[in-house]
Every structure is written in structure tokens, then in C-alpha cells.
């Protein structure tokens, strides 16, 4: 019996729907299940002899954090869309001033990234968190989450790798050294000759002219990036102004032809502006930005002028957050910027990739667009195409794997047995002094949740620079002008200049809701649909109100709540020094002391005004990293952004009824022992 034509058309349409949007996602899911894994039992770790900081790790161990070797290695080597430098460039690049490879284990370790041996998922022995990425048929070296969120602690020759722990990395120093190496290639004929020959030998480039063109392009990109993000406060090791750099990367890529002409008109002559924009259309691509910067950057002075006109100060370095329980949080980031419900994790991680050299090629067009509808731009008229290298599929998968990560337990067989008597006394002190902001959780429970306790700046008293920067800065809206972004208390209209928090929110939403333009049509749309549905419905965290004592957002001040800092559960806190959001206190013992010593008490203990960072050697007594007695980076807490004030609970005499008394030294040690056990 034949089906009626109308039913036949419906049936055909149904089959087409299955072919386009059901079967491809199933193949994607099966491909991920069958993905070849790297199960090297050492997880790629290599030992390091005594280094420039006096550290050594003749043995590397992993603590039990509920990840198998293949999960750690997958986390280290899964690309997220970061395009720092052409891949072959990184493989053969020499250090500035000497012929040793820039990526040598010794040099990588000096910047406090973690060297790795060759494994099946890492055939070129890249450091932890460095991977090969491909965008528009070109290979790059880029960063993954693991570069900033994998730690190592050494104790008497044993190195303990901490998955999801804060890295000790000096990213700013690394990028400065990388730039110096590229400048040497560009400017020194003998270095350039060796470099070009080595690159061509690897096969990605077929001729010398193309290599030299890219040498100039990427040297300029790195140079301008460093100038734009220059901070009067040196970051040193174990921290970075990630927000400032993400914001600046976003602002750089939002400008359209009209607005960049206006910006340049404020710093250049009319003739210089015409020269800078010659041949540039309304859409500003990555290649166009390179041309403009090359024409503007006739001197470093001009780039400085551009920085002052267009960008914000990246002068609020913070510690790299630790990632265990991150997927179980209601709000993330030091100031609670990121709501973790729904698609929040995808947006947060998209912003992170923008900050670590994701390629962005956004442009305007007029057409029908589902993406435009979802991101609030309407069915047609002007729409923004958010084409980029950012791999939202892998971002979703990385976030999903983090749900299984657990905090590390104090390894008594390495660091010494814990005093159970002190722990019991410390537990009572924790209940009185700490638990109101730092709730206790079961680290291994699949039902655990972390409610961030937000404390406004006036209450917590810690350095305000990072929190203040997040609400005081505005930037040119460029291609996003006249669009709307939700802010929790209503929509914010993006004017010529808009709050950077609003611009970042809108930009990341655009990326998340745009299929990957670097893939075929069917694969692009099927993967996009699969990832959006999977990310939204697999996330057990739902949007909720913030907890704590903070200034609430209002229609007049929609970002007031960001002027606060987060208190979270302290499981694994022993492995995350230095402390406070900006890393201004070297050990947990120091954190239990007042910021300054009372003038009338000669023998009083207080937090160090200056200390050293860079060593990975663990201080068992004070719980933190070694901060004296070696040639490291001097952390000066007197500088703005570096203040070690605040969070002085239990360190000062009670002033009002109900205030807790000052902790004695024995009580501090009891509390410290309890924190070791978390």
C-alpha cells in the first residue's frame, strides 16, 4: 500500500532530520568513547635535577585524586583552540642569545611549567598544558587548561603532581622570553638562517618567504601583546592577571572599521590614520589587525598610546585557582563573576581561551540566522558571526571530566603523620572561626555542592584591585554596539563604550552559540547541537542567587556584586599556596597572623612584608611553599595589587560583643593541623 504524498513528505523530512541531527551526534559520542587513550603509568612526568631555585625531584608521584593516568594525560593534551605560535616555530625556536632550544626541559622548568617525556598522546614531548592545535588548516602550539591548573610540590627529592592544582608558572615571563627569542630570529641573520632551515625541514612550510613573513607577523603579535598587557606590578610566579588579559584580547577583537578609525584618530595624525587603514574594509579580520598594528607600531611609543586609548590596565594579578569541585560550584572566579548554571561553564571557559590566544575572526553580515536569534540579535538584519578557533566541544568535555576530580589528601607517607589530638582541637576552632564562609563538604561524594560565600571588600579587607577592576573599566563595544546583554537585574544596552564584564559576557555567548566554521556543514551543525544540548542538560548546577554579605546588583549598578571575594570549601587547601586571592601570603600559618605587627609588641608574629616565590619545595611546618633562602622572585606586599591585608579573623583583639578572641600560637597550630587533614 502506498503512503499518501503528504505523509511521504513528512516521512522524508523525518528521515532527513535523523540523518542531519541524530546520527552525526551518535557518531560523535561513539568516537569519543572509542578515542585512543594514553595510559602511560608515569603520566608523562620526568624527574628534574637540582634547578636554578635549588629544587630537585628525583622521583615523581601522583596523589589519589580519582583520575586514572589516561584521564590526566587527556587533560594535559586536549586542545581548546589556543593559537600561540606556528607549531613548527615552537619546536625549533632557540633561546635568545644561545643556541639551546627554547622548549628545552631546563628552560621550561625555569618558567615553572612542567616538562614531560614523549608519550603516544604527546609525541613531541611538549610540557604539561602545551598542545598542537589546528585552525584553518594551519598547526599551532597553544595552551590548555592544564598549563595553569596542574601543580607540583617537592619535598626532600620527591615531586608530588597535583592535578587541578595551581601552577607555579610565570606566564608573563615565559611570553617575554618567547618574544625575545622571536625578535632574535627576526633581527639576527645567522639565527634567522638556522631557524628558517629548521622550520622548512619539518615540512609545514614550503619556502623561505612564507617563513619570514610569519616570523614578522608573530613577533609583532607577541611584542604588541606584551606592551598592551604591561603591568606596573610584576606578577612573578604562580599568578597572572587573567581577567585583565582576557578583557584586552576581547577589546582588541571587537573593533569595527568605524570605531578603530576613531580610536586611531585620537593618537595619530590624519595621514597616519589613512596609512594604517589603507585597504581595510568594514570587517576587521585577524590578518587586518596584523596589518594595522604593523603600520601603527612604527615605534613602541605608538603601541603605548594605543594601549592607553583602547585597553585596560592588566595590573591585578591573582593566583591560579584550583579546579577540584569547580564543576560543583554555584559561582566561580575569585569575585564570583561566573555563574555556573546552564551554559555558564562553556561561557567561562570560552573567555579563558580568548585570553590564551584563541583566534577570533568575527564579522558583520545581514541574513537569516538561528545563532542570531539564540544570542538575542533577532532573525535577520545585522548579525555578528563569531567565527573562532575555540573548540567548545572539548571545553564541554574538559568540564565534564573535572566533575570526577577530587582534592588531594595530605600524603602522610611523604610529608609526615598528622597529630590526631591537634586535629580534634582544630576542628572545634574551625567551626567557630571559619565554617561560616568555608563550608565543609565530602570530597568524594557525587552529591557534593559548593556554595560560594561572597564577602564584600569592606568586610574581607583583602587587596581590592582585582574586584574593582572588574567593574570600573569600560571599553569600546565595536561590533557589539546597540546590542543587549542580560545582567541578572535586567538587560544592559551596549553603548559606544560599555562595561567590560558586559562585553565579555556577550562575546562569549556569541562564540558558544556559533557552530565551528572550520568544519563541514553537517559536522558543524550536528556537533554544535550535540554540545549545546549535552552541556545544558548534563549540568546539574542551576542558576541561583549568590550567598554571603555583598553589595547586591541593581538596575543602576548591575555589577556591584563583583566587588567581593569568594570563600569556598577548603578541602585540599594545603596544596594550593601561596594564599589569598592574589597570592600575597606564603603559608597557611602566616595567613593566621595579622598583616602588621602591633607596635607595642616586640616579639609579635605577623605576615611577611616581603618573601620569595619560585621554589616548589614544601614547608611542612607552616604549610606552603619555601619562601626564603634562595634566589627567587621577591614578592613585595607594599605594592598595589600585592597587599596582604584582610582576612585577619582571629588575629586582632575583640572590639564588639560577639567578636572572636585572638588565637594563641597553640590554637593556630591546632587549626593548621586540621587544615592539613582537609
Encode pLDDT of 255-276 as tens digits: 888 888 888 898 888 998 899 8
Distance (Å, whole) CA 554 – CA 561: 9
DSSP 5-41: HHHHHHHHHHHHHIIIIIHHHHHHHHHHHT------T
* Residues spanned by the domain of 78: 40-228
Q: How many CA atoms lie within 13 A of 558 on its CB side?
A: 15
Structural domain contains residue 253: no
Beta-carbon contacts of residue 53 (< 8 Å; ≥ 6 apart): 614, 615, 616, 617, 630, 631, 632
Q: Examine the domain organization and report whether 106 and 160 are in the same domain.
A: yes
Strands 382-388 and 547-549: what pairing? unpaired
Q: How far apart are CA 669 and CA 456, in angstroms?
A: 28
What value does the mean pLDDT take over residues 366-392? 69
CA distance 245 to 259: 21
Cα 299 to chain centroid, rounded: 31
Question: How many CB atoms lie under 10 A from the CB of residue 34?
Answer: 8
What local confidence, expressed as pLDDT, does residue 73 receive? 97
619/588 Cα distance (integer angstroms): 10
For residues 98 and 158, state if they share a domain. yes
Q: Of the segments 5-14, 174-183, 340-349, 650-659, which one has the largest average pLDDT value?
A: 174-183
- Name the β-bridge partners of 141: 85, 132
Binned at pLDDT 50, 70 and 90, residue 299 comes out as confident
Domain boundary among 554, 578, 596: 554
154 assigned to some structural domain? yes
Q: How open is the CA angle 640-646-650, to the nearest 5 degrees? A: 160
Same domain, residue pair 575 and 515: no
Residue 235 domain flag: no
Same domain membership, residue 526 and residue 467 = yes
Higher pLDDT, 405 or 383: 405
Q: How confident is the model at residue 592 (pLDDT cuts 50, 70, 90)?
A: very high
In this structure, are 476 and 509 located in the same domain? yes
**What pLDDT score was predicted for residue 427?**
97
pLDDT for residue 33: 45
Q: Are residues 454 and 469 in the same domain?
A: no
Confidence of residue 248 (pLDDT cuts 50, 70, 90): very high
Per-residue pLDDT, averaged over 463-469, amounts to 96
What is the per-residue DSSP string for 201-263?
HHSS--SHHHHHHHHHHHHHHHHHHHHHT--SS---SSEE-HHHHHHHHHHHHH--HHHHHHH
Examine the domain organization and report whether 72 and 159 are in the same domain: yes
Please state the rounded mean pLDDT for residues 67-79: 97
Q: Are residues 29 and 48 in the same domain?
A: no
Note whether 48 and 31 are same-domain residues. Answer: no
For the cut 60, the answer to whether the pLDDT of residue 288 exceeds it is yes
Hey, is 529 helix, strand or coil? helix
**Domain match, 457 and 531 both:** no
Instruction: Please state the domain count of the chain.
Output: 4
User: Is residue 374 domain-resident?
Assistant: yes
Q: Is the pLDDT of residue 362 over 90?
A: no
Amino acid at each position: 500500500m502506498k503512503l499518501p504524498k503528504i505523509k511521504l513528505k513528512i516521512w522524508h523530512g523525518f528521515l532527513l532530520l535523523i540523518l542531519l541531527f541524530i546520527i552525526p551526534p551518535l557518531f560523535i559520542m561513539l568516537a569519543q568513547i572509542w578515542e585512543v587513550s594514553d595510559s602511560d603509568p608515569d603520566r608523562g612526568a620526568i624527574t628534574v635535577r637540582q634547578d636554578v631555585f635549588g629544587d630537585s625531584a628525583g622521583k615523581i608521584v601522583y596523589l589519589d585524586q580519582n583520575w586514572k593516568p589516561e584521564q590526566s594525560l587527556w587533560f594535559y593534551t586536549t586542545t581548546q583552540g589556543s593559537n600561540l605560535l606556528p607549531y613548527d616555530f615552537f619546536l625549533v625556536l632557540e633561546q635568545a642569545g644561545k643556541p639551546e632550544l627554547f622548549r628545552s626541559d631546563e628552560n621550561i622548568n625555569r618558567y615553572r611549567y612542567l616538562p614531560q617525556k614523549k608519550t603516544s598522546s604527546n609525541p613531541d614531548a611538549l610540557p604539561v598544558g602545551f598542545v598542537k592545535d589546528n585552525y584553518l588548516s594551519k598547526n599551532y602550539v597553544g595552551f590548555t587548561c592544564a598549563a595553569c591548573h596542574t601543580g607540583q610540590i617537592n619535598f626532600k627529592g620527591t615531586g608530588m603532581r597535583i592535578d587541578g592544582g595551581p601552577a607555579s608558572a610565570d606566564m608573563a615571563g615565559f611570553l617575554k622570553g618567547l618574544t625575545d627569542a622571536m625578535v632574535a630570529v627576526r633581527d639576527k641573520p645567522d639565527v634567522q638562517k638556522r631557524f628558517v632551515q629548521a622550520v622548512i625541514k619539518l615540512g609545514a612550510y614550503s619556502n623561505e618567504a612564507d617563513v619570514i613573513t610569519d616570523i614578522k607577523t608573530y613577533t609583532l603579535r607577541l611584542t604588541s601583546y606584551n606592551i598592551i598587557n604591561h603591568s606596573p606590578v610584576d606578577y612573578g610566579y604562580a599568578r597572572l592577571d587573567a581577567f585583565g588579559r582576557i578583557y584586552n584580547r576581547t577589546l582588541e577583537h571587537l573593533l569595527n572599521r568605524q570605531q578603530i578609525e576613531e580610536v586611531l584618530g585620537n593618537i595619530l595624525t590624519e595621514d597616519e590614520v589613512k596609512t594604517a587603514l589603507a585597504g581595510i574594509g568594514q570587517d576587521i579580520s585577524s590578518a587586518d589587525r596584523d596589518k594595522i598594528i604593523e603600520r601603527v607600531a612604527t615605534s613602541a611609543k605608538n603601541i603605548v598610546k594605543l594601549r592607553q586609548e583602547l585597553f585596560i590596565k592588566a595590573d591585578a594579578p591573582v593566583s591560579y585557582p584550583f579546579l577540584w569541585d569547580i564543576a560543583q560550584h554555584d559561582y566561580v572566579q575569585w569575585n564570583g563573576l561566573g555563574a555556573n548554571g546552564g551554559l555558564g561553564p562553556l561561557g567561562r571557559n570560552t573567555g579563558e581561551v580568548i585570553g590564551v590566544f584563541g583566534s577570533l575572526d568575527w564579522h558583520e553580515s545581514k541574513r537569516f540566522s538561528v545563532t542570531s536569534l539564540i544570542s538575542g540579535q533577532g532573525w535577520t538584519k545585522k548579525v555578528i558571526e563569531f567565527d573562532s578557533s575555540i573548540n567548545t566541544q572539548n571545553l564541554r568535555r574538559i568540564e565534564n571530566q573535572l566533575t570526577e576530580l577530587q582534592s588531594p589528601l595530605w600524603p602522610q607517607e611523604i610529608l609526615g603523620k598528622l597529630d590526631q589530638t591537634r586535629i580534634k582541637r582544630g576542628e572545634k576552632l574551625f567551626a567557630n572561626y571559619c565554617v561560616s564562609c568555608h563550608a565543609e563538604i565530602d570530597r568524594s561524594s557525587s552529591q557534593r555542592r559548593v556554595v560560594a560565600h561572597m564577602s564584600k571588600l569592606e568586610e574581607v579587607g583583602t587587596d581590592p584591585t582585582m574586584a574593582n577592576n572588574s567593574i570600573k573599566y569600560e571599553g569600546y563595544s565595536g561590533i557589539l554596539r546597540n546590542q543587549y546583554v542580560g545582567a541578572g537585574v535586567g538587560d544592559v544596552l551596549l553603548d559606544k563604550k560599555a562595561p567590560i564584564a558586559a562585553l565579555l559576557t556577550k562575546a562569549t555567548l556569541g562564540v558558544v552559540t556559533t557552530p565551528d566554521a572550520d568544519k563541514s556543514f553537517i559536522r558543524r551543525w550536528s556537533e554544535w547541537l550535540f554540545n549545546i544540548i549535552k552541556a545544558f542538560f548534563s549540568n546539574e548546577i542551576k542558576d541561583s542567587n549568590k550567598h554571603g554579605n555583598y553589595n547586591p546588583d541593581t538596575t543602576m549598578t548591575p555589577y556591584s556584586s563583583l566587588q567581593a571575594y569568594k570563600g569556598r570549601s577548603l578541602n585540599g587547601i594545603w596544596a594550593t599556596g601561596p594564599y589569598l586571592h592574589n597570592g600575597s601570603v606564603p603559608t597557611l600559618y602566616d595567613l593566621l597572623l595579622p598583616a602588621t605587627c602591633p607596635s607595642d609588641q616586640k616579639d609579635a608574629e605577623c605576615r611577611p612584608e616581603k618573601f620569595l616565590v619560585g621554589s616548589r619545595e614544601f614547608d611542612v611546618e607552616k604549610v606552603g611553599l619555601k619562601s626564603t633562602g634562595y634566589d627567587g622572585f621577591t614578592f613585595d606586599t607594599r605594592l598595589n595589587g600585592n597587599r596582604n591585608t584582610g582576612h585577619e579573623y582571629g588575629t586582632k583583639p575583640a572590639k564588639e560583643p560577639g567578636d572572636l578572641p585572638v588565637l594563641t600560637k597553640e590554637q593556630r597550630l591546632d587549626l593548621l593541623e586540621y587544615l592539613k587533614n582537609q
